[in-house]
Amino acid sequence: MQSVATAQRVQKSQVGQRKKLKRNDRFWLSIFISPNLLMYTLFILVPSVAGILLSFCEWNILGPINWVGLENYRRLADDELLLPAFSRTLQFLILGVLPTVFGGFLIAVLLNWKVKGIGIFRAMFFLPLTISSAVAGIAWSSIFNPEAGWINRILKIFGITGPEWLASVSWALPSVTIIVIWLSLPLVIILYLAGLQRISPEILEAAALDGANAWQRVWQIIFPCVSATTILVIAIEILAFLSSPFEISLLMVQGGPLDSTTSLAYYAYKMAFEQFEVGYSAALVMVQFFALLAVALPIIQFRRYRRVRGR
Amino acid sequence: MASTVLFTQKRSANFLRYSVITLLSVLFIFPLIYLISGSLMSLDEVQVYPPRLLPSSLNWENFVEAFSVMTPRIFFNTLFFTFGILILQLILSFTAGFALAKMPFKYAALIVALFAIPVFLPTNISIIPLYLVTYKLGLLNTWGGMILPIVGSTAFGTLLFRQFMVNFPDGLIDAARIDGASWPRVLFRIVLPLAKPPIASYSAITFLTAWNMYIWPLMVGSREELRVATVQLAPLIAGGTGFYGKVGPNVTYAAALLSALPVVLFFLWAQRWFINAIAGTGNDS
């Protein structure tokens, strides 16, 4: 018994020795880490901190940087364009996140099936993952075309005159949302498929998709089993719908028509690169950051709570 | 008797499920199906109302014309941009991931925490200051400005490789160290040959992200010598106005397909690594 304890102590001291790095080791340690840390600091940490600091300054890129304190934040209150932009960001989130998460879950449940040829269908659903926003923009602008596009063509079969989609002030935002959903679904499906694979077969059997009430069993038995994935996916999609609509809108409708797809992120971009008001633009980005924090903190707290409770 | 009923029930349920999957998947990739179909139509046919589903004859010459949009230069630029980022970031994250996991030192935990920050930051919080840093370094409109700032986002790779190295058996490394192998030798001769799975996952994700990147290359390298595929294609998007650039929609579709083809083929070939990489991120949580 005692000898075991001694052996353990010896082992521990050996580990302790290994933990002390010699000078030669420190040389290689810095070679391995410094370039990475330098680049990371220069291009990620410094710009992030600079972004925060610039929100307290006034700068038109060419002139000097002036510290103006809270002036930019005071200006937010008088900005008539801020609230509409903020509301459009919210609309992107509300219209986009839940359909992506629930739709992705349902498709993953359908695809989680050991049957010949399922790989082809999976690959079809994963495909938009490889498509750039530019190519998606080209493909979808033909689909959404008010006259010659397929959506309005099919609606017409049912006697419905479709809207002008991307050219319409009220439909452009939902149209951009649909494209972002399409681009985001593959990732959600892949994550849910991975999550479903971790459920024990007995549970899945009990929730077998055939027979009556399959729909109910999917939501009552399978969905709770992948709740960890759901929380992760919601977090990822909130971030995605804060930034991706900006890129799609920039590519397809340049924030229009009549600013109807100008989200907060897009508004901040315009402020910096069209009006050259870098400081105010930074303040706008901070608004989004604080709004995100307000959403994210409860989620993080909830995850911690679940972890403590052991799921 | 009862079992036959059950059997037919199960069969019809399977048939239903099969049909739903088929219908959904075709609807889902319809924009891409039409992109392919339209890229082979003549200019008159692609603009006709009501829209046609299939071309009446295959106009392959659209693809020849599409090479005037997706020129070899644009392809070269996109490849250079993508692999520049992929390789430089791989070297930085692989070595740092190793050091953080296997060379214990005082600040390791602190640095790991530092790398976790971007998870909480939306990209556009730093993109304008990032542009300014690039401008101050005199890197606007240079390959350095295109590639290096993106290489700087090493967080994902570093944490991915660190996770792999943490689970890497200490015994192999200790044995080599006792035999007098230097740290680089340990890293490149012992760890590297066994690290193919995380390297493949990292490469798959990074290749995809870099190839499809739009806003950064637009801001920093829009002149022709640096222009990548996405920046070249963007002005051809009809958007809400229905206005096309100097080529017709059919040629635009063909050009879009040409730009997507390398990634799609690479994806179909290496699908497993993509899935592993993405599913892995889910596993950690």
Confidence of residue A280 (pLDDT cuts 50, 70, 90): very high
- Cβ pairs bridging A and B (under 8 Å): 310
- Reported pTM: 0.86
B265 interfaces chain A, CB cutoff of 8 Å = no
Residue B87 · residue B95 · CB < 8 Å:
no
Which domains, and CATH codes, for chain B? 2-65 (no CATH), 71-236 (1.10.3720.10)
What is the nearest CA distance from A40 to chain B, expressed in angstroms? 5
- Residue A61: list chain B partners with CB under 8 A: 132
Confidence of residue B16 (pLDDT cuts 50, 70, 90): confident
- Tell me the mean pLDDT in the region B178-194: 88
CATH (residue range A74-308): 1.10.3720.10
Domain boundaries, chain A: 17-71, 74-308
Exposure class string for A270-305: b at 16+ Cβ within 10 A, else e: bbbeeeebbbbbbbbbbbbbebbeeeeeeeeeeeee
Q: How many CB atoms lie within 10 A of CB A42?
A: 17
- Residue B130: list chain A partners with CB under 8 A: 43, 47
**pLDDT tops 50 at residue A134:** yes
- Is the ipTM beyond the 0.90 threshold? no
Q: What is the pLDDT of residues B127-163, one digit of tens each?
A: 888 888 898 899 999 999 999 999 998 888 898 899 8
What is the nearest CA distance from A3 to chain B, expressed in angstroms? 23
**pLDDT tops 50 at residue A4:** no
pLDDT at A116: 82
CB contact under 8 A, A194 and B13: no
Mean pLDDT of all residues belonging to chain A: 84
pLDDT at B274: 76
Q: What is the pLDDT of residues A11-43, one digit of tens each?
A: 444 444 455 567 778 888 889 999 999 999 999
pLDDT at B128: 81
pLDDT at B228: 93
What is the nearest CA distance from A211 to chain B, expressed in angstroms? 7
Q: What is the pLDDT of residues B18-46, one digit of tens each?
A: 899 999 999 999 999 999 999 999 888 88
B6 interfaces chain A, CB cutoff of 8 Å = no
pLDDT at A308: 63
What are the backbone dihedrals phi and psi of residue B228, each rounded to the nearest 5 degrees, phi first?
-100, 175
pLDDT at A10: 44
The partner residue sitting opposite B103, judged by closest CB among A29, A125, A128, is A29
CB contact under 8 A, B126 and A229: no
Q: What is the pLDDT of residues A64-110, one digit of tens each?
A: 888 988 888 999 888 889 999 999 999 999 999 999 999 999 999 99
| Chain B residue with the nearest C-alpha to that of A121 | B25
**pLDDT tops 50 at residue B60:** yes
pLDDT at B280: 65
Mean pLDDT of all residues belonging to chain B: 85
pLDDT at B17: 86
Name residues whose C-beta falls within 8 Å of residue B18's C-beta, 6 or more positions apart in sequence.
A115
**pLDDT tops 60 at residue B177:** yes
- Scan residues 179-208 of B and list those with Cβ closer than 8 Å to A: 182-184, 187, 208
CA B145/CA B140 separation, integer angstroms = 5
- Tell me the mean pLDDT in the region B164-173: 89
Please state, for a pLDDT cut of 90, what percent of chain B lies above it.
34
